[in-house]
Structure 1
Amino acid sequence: MTRKAPTPVRFDAAVAVRLQAYVATHPGLSLSSAANRLVDEGLRTTEHPGITFREGPTGRRAGLVGGPDVWEVVRAVRSARAAEPELAEHGLLSMVADNTGLPLRLLRTALRYWAAYPQEVDAEIAAADETEQAAERAWRREQDLLAG
């Protein structure tokens, strides 16, 4: 566990009220953990323009503004690389752009974010892969039962 540095912060009254409202609608978060999350995400969006954070079934995760989650883009690039191992970078990204409808600049935004936070994004990919595998296993069991 990383040590947390005590940092005194004074919020404007309106910001403090909004932060308390945020905590009230997010069970399990303390005022301190919510402030830490929001400051971290704010810094990340400053470092990586075009990235946003959204809630979902696996918790908060990075996504492209107006686009898919970062993990989905990275998984698409990996899939394209596996299918076409000989493609040069531009060809690979063009193929993903054609298949996803995302412009190259957004693909690069997602890849830069992944390069900065690979463990976080890779964990989302692993969770999605496991969920898909579990659903397929359940479907196969159902099909086996129905086949007689």
Structure 2
Amino acid sequence: MAARAKREGVSPGELKGRLLAEGYAQRDHPGIVFRGPWHDRRAALAEGPDVWEVASRLRELDGPEEHRIAVLCEETALHPRHVRIAIDYAAEHLDEVLERIERNEEAAKRSRRAVQRRAALFAAVPDPGGRPRA
């Protein structure tokens, strides 16, 4: 365990604690796995997307819970059972999942702003004839 902890850049105690927490979560929520590097672990469906992705899409949809689940299943080919596994995990770990959704939304906003700035930059570049582009 010490060698693994060193590779991960954490103490053996931190590694042990993380592994125990993830193991308990997987026992409590069969079908959930954990992905990503030590500094950015995230819960995911064993055969599907990250839990935060499921929760984020369900929040975007309108209607009662069962309708939202049905729409998501049509969009993704996930089985309703898997969506409910993700929902159950998300409900139990709400702060973690909402924080991940918020981080993703902020990254998307930064990306959109960067695209707009690049477009503005190229709009200000003169064409080969020396005239500014409109």
TM-score range, shorter chain: 0.7 to 0.9
Where does structure 1 differ by over 6 angstroms across 4 or more consecutive aligned residues?
none
Q: Which has the larger radius of gyration?
A: 2
Q: What's the CA shift for 1:71?
A: 0.2
| Structure 1 residue runs without a partner (length 5+) | 1-18, 82-86
Q: Is 2:12 the partner of 1:20?
A: no
CA distance change for structure 1 residues 110 and 98 in 2, over 3 Å: closer, same or farther?
A: same
Q: Alpha-carbon deviations, 1:71-124, whole Å to 9, x = none? A: 00000101113xxxxx33322210111112211001000000011000001111
Q: TM-score, normalised by structure 2?
A: 0.87
Amino acid at match of 2:11: S
Identity of aligned residues (%): 33
Instruction: Please report the RMSD computed on the Cα atoms of aligned residues, expressed in angstroms.
Output: 1.5
The match for 1:104 is 80
Equivalent residues in 2 for 1:108-127, closer than 5 Å: 108-127=84-103
The match for 1:90 is 66
Q: Alpha-carbon deviations, 1:37-66, whole Å to 9, x = none? A: 000100010001100111159700101102
Equivalent residues in 2 for 1:34-53, closer than 5 Å: 34-53=15-34
| Structure 2 residue runs without a partner (length 5+) | 125-134
The match for 1:135 is 111
Cα distance in 2 for partners of 1:80, 1:34 equals: 37
Cα distance in 2 for partners of 1:42, 1:58 equals: 17
Q: TM-score, normalised by structure 1?
A: 0.79
